Structure 1
Amino acid sequence: MNVISLEAKRRQKRAEEILNIPVYKGIWKDENGELTGNIIDYVDMPKHLIKKGE
């Protein structure tokens, strides 16, 4: 039987609610039409603030 601490459960739940979003500098389309850019940083954002595109 595995014993998981409440602290570990809290960290896991918190990690599932947060997305790690890259911050780009200089975004352009490459020859395949994909957006490309230089990643300069990563920002943690709660999932409820991000809307899914359609």
Structure 2
Amino acid sequence: VGSVGGTLVGVLIIGVLRNGLNLLGVSPFIQQVVIGVVIALAVTIDTLRRRSNSAH
């Protein structure tokens, strides 16, 4: 379970990333792929971090 602050930071990062890709002229399809990969990586890193903390 995340915090409100963490959620706001995540939304801010996604917004900045999406805006930057848009300014670079990246196609909407590629933007969706990039955002999806970023979210998948964030979930994977969080899961691994939680497993590591619970093992100790």
TM interval, short-chain normalised? 0.3 to 0.5
In terms of fraction of residues, the more strand-rich structure is 1
TM-score, length-scaled by structure 1: 0.34
Which has the greater radius of gyration? 1
In terms of fraction of residues, the more helix-rich structure is 2
